[in-house]
Amino acid sequence: MDEKLLAVLIGVLSGAIGYWVTTFWMRPILQYRDLRSKVLVDLIFYAQVVNADNLNGRMQELYNERTESNRRSAAELVACLLELPFWYKWWLRLVRQTPSSAATNLIGLSNTNEYEPAEQRVLVIKKALGIRTEAI
């Protein structure tokens, strides 16, 4: 076989494998890590917006934004989990991260109006996503 043809075949095969790994492994993993960061940012940003009763208009807007953000993040997290490669899901179980539990608790957090239950859910979400609570 001609050396040039072999070089072309190796290049095409390497490119195809690289495309497959990037598209079906790395992109979902990076998406999951971005969502994890987004959830943390939202938890910090909306930390004091738990109960909007008897508050001004801006706080009521923030409460509605928190509810919508938590629900959207939960939906995006579940959708992202479907795309993760099997070996990364295994890795998440190994390091005791449970994103599905985080998604469930994000929905629960969006329905919570009291500070204490909300704080408990936030702690569960952080633990489920592997976010160290002492850092925040």
- Over its length of 136 residues, how does the chain's per-residue pLDDT go in tens digits? 789 999 999 999 999 999 999 988 999 999 999 999 999 999 998 887 777 677 788 888 888 899 999 999 999 999 999 999 999 999 999 999 999 999 999 999 999 888 899 999 999 999 999 998 765 5
- Tell me how far CA of residue 66 lies from CA of 9, 128, 134, in angstroms: 52, 19, 23
**Taking a C-beta distance cutoff of 8 angstroms, is the pair 18, 70 a contact?**
no
pTM: 0.84
User: What are the residue ranges of helices labelled H in 84-136?
Assistant: 86-94, 99-110, 115-128
Q: Where are the domains of the chain?
A: 3-135
